[in-house]
C-alpha cells in the first residue's frame, strides 16, 4: 500500500482512501478525503513556468526517480511512502538534514530528495543550504522587486510583525533585511534569498492547497479562511494586522492569490495557527495604491473594526517614518485618515477580548 506520511506517521492511506490521522492530514475535509488529497497534491506541485525547478528535476533524473516520487518538501514534513520504502525513515531522507538538489550533485553527493518538485509559484526558484545550516529559497527577480521585497521584510520586523527573513548576495557579501539600505543603490545580482520559516517540528500549509480562496482585502474573509483551514482560535486581529501591512506596502497580490496565505501546523499535535507573512515582491514603492486603500477601508469600516485597525496601524506607520520609507508612510497616513473619518465603533476589548496580536511565541528556523 501507499501512504501519505507526516514524518514517520501514516496519516492517509492513498490506496484505500482512508484518513488514518485526520488531525494530522494536511487537508481538513475527511468526508471526501480523496478529493481533498488530490486538491492538496495538485496545488503543492511546482508550475512548469518555474524553469529552475524544471532544470533541477531534469538533472536529477526526472520525476520518476525514487527520490523525486516521494515528494519531500522544505515547507512541510509530508511525503509519499511506497511499498519499496518499507524500511525508510523520515530522518534518513528529509531535506531538512540530508543532501538534496543540484548543489549536492555538483559536490559529488547523492541527494535524498528533490524539494523543488513541491515548490509553489511561477517564478524561477530553488532551495539551498547555508554554512549556518539554514535552508533558504532563492528567487530570481528584477532589481526593483528585490528591493521592494527586502524592504518590506525590514519594515515588518521594525513594526514587530512576524514575517520571513531574507538576504541578498552583493559584491560586498551577504546582506540581511535588517542591514539593507532604504536607498536603491545595491546590485543584488538578480536573486533574493528567503530564509525558511518551517522546520521538522512545524509545517506550513498554503490555503490554496486546501481549496480555500479568501478575499485578501477583507479581514473577515481571511479570518474565516484561517478557521476553515483548521485554526481553532479567533485570529481576526492577526488577519487584520496582516491586511493593514499589505495595504501600507501596496501589495495587491494577496487579494486573490491564496497561495500566499498559509497556516503553520505543529507536527506533533496538529494544532494550527496563522503563518508568518511572506512573499512581498508585488509591493509598490512608486505609486500609492489608492484603490486598495479604499477597498480595504470599506471592509474594515463595514466590519466595525476602524478603532482597532488604527491602533494596529500605528506601529507600522511609526516604523515607516523611522526607516525613511516615504511612500509607505504616506499610505499609512492616508489609510488612517480614511478610517478615522468613520463614526467610532465598539472597542476591540468589548467585542473580542485580549489576545496576542501576532499569535506566536516561538520562532521556527
238-295 pLDDT, tens digit each: 999 999 999 999 999 999 999 999 999 999 999 999 999 999 999 999 999 999 999 9
- How much is the average pLDDT of 121-129? 85
Kindly indicate the confidence band of residue 231, based on its pLDDT and cuts at 50, 70 and 90. very high
Do 220 and 111 sit in the same domain of this protein? Answer: no
b/e 297-333 (16+ beta carbons within 10 angstroms → b): bebbbebebbbbbbebbebbbebbeebebebbbebbe
Instruction: Please indicate, yes or no, if residue 85 is contained in any of the structural domains.
Output: yes
Which of 65, 99, 120 is a domain's end point?
120
Give the pLDDT of residue 342: 66
**Residue 23 binned pLDDT confidence (cut-offs 50, 70, 90):** very high
> In the prediction, which pLDDT does 185 show?
61
The answer to the question of residue 283 being in a domain is: yes
Coil, helix or strand at residue 25: coil
Q: Tell whether 181 is covered by a domain.
A: no
Extract the C-alpha cell encoding 364: 521556527
Q: Give the structural domain span for 278.
A: 202-352
Tens-place pLDDT, residues 321-349:
999 999 999 999 999 999 998 644 444 44
Q: Of all residues in the chain, what percent carry a pLDDT higher than 70?
A: 89
- Whether 355 has a pLDDT exceeding 60, the answer reads no
Distance CA 234, CA 216 (A): 17
pLDDT at site 62: 87
Last residue of a domain, one of 103, 120, 137: 120
Verify that 213 and 344 share a domain, yes or no.
yes
Mean pLDDT of 37-59: 88
Does the residue 132 lie in any domain?
Answer: no
Section 86-102 average pLDDT: 91
Picking from 120, 139, 162, the residue at the C-terminal end of a domain is 120
Tell me whether residue 186 is in a domain.
Answer: no
Q: How many domains does the chain have?
A: 2
In a domain, 266, yes or no: yes
140 located within any domain: no
Amino acid at each position: 500500500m501507499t501512504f501519505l506520511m507526516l514524518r514517520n506517521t501514516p496519516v492517509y492511506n492513498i490506496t484505500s482512501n482512508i484518513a488514518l490521522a485526520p488531525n494530522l492530514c494536511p487537508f481538513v475535509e475527511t468526508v471526501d478525503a480523496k478529493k481533498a488529497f488530490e486538491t492538496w497534491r495538485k496545488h503543492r506541485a511546482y508550475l512548469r513556468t518555474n524553469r529552475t525547478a524544471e532544470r533541477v528535476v531534469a538533472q536529477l533524473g526526472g520525476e520518476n526517480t525514487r527520490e523525486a516520487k516521494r515528494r519531500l518538501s522544505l515547507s512541510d514534513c509530508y511525503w509519499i511512502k511506497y511499498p519499496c520504502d518499507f524500511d525508510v525513515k523520515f530522518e534518513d531522507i528529509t531535506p531538512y538534514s540530508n543532501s538534496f538538489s543540484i548543489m549536492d550533485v555538483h559536490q559529488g553527493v547523492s541527494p535524498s530528495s528533490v524539494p523543488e518538485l513541491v515548490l509553489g509559484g511561477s517564478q524561477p526558484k530553488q532551495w539551498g543550504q547555508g554554512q549556518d545550516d539554514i535552508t533558504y529559497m532563492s528567487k530570481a527577480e528584477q532589481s526593483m522587486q528585490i528591493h521592494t521585497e527586502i524592504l518590506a521584510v525590514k519594515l515588518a520586523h521594525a513594526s514587530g510583525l512576524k514575517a520571513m527573513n531574507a538576504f541578498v548576495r552583493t559584491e560586498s557579501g551577504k546582506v540581511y533585511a535588517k542591514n539593507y539600505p532604504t536607498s536603491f543603490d545595491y546590485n543584488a545580482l538578480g536573486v533574493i534569498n528567503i530564509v525558511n520559516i518551517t522546520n521538522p517540528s512545524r509545517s506550513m500549509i498554503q490555503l490554496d492547497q486546501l481549496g480555500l480562496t479568501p478575499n485578501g482585502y477583507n479581514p473577515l474573509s481571511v479570518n474565516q479562511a484561517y478557521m476553515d483551514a483548521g485554526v481553532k482560535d479567533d485570529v481576526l486581529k492577526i488577519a487584520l494586522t496582516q491586511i493593514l501591512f499589505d495595504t501600507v506596502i501596496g501589495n495587491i497580490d494577496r487579494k486573490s492569490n491564496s497561495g500566499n496565505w498559509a497556516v503553520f501546523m505543529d507536527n506533533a499535535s496538529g494544532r494550527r495557527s496563522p503563518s508568518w507573512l511572506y512573499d512581498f515582491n508585488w509591493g509598490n514603492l512608486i505609486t500609492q495604491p489608492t484603490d486598495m486603500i479604499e477597498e480595504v477601508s470599506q471592509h474594515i469600516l463595514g466590519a466595525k473594526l476602524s478603532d482597532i485597525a488604527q491602533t494596529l496601524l500605528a506601529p507600522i506607520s511609526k516604523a515607516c517614518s523611522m526607516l525613511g520609507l516615504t511612500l509607505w508612510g504616506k499610505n499609512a497616513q492616508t489609510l488612517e485618515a480614511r478610517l478615522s473619518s468613520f463614526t467610532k465603533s465598539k472597542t476591540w476589548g468589548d467585542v473580542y477580548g485580549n489576545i496576542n496580536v501576532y499569535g506566536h511565541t516561538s520562532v521556527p528556523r
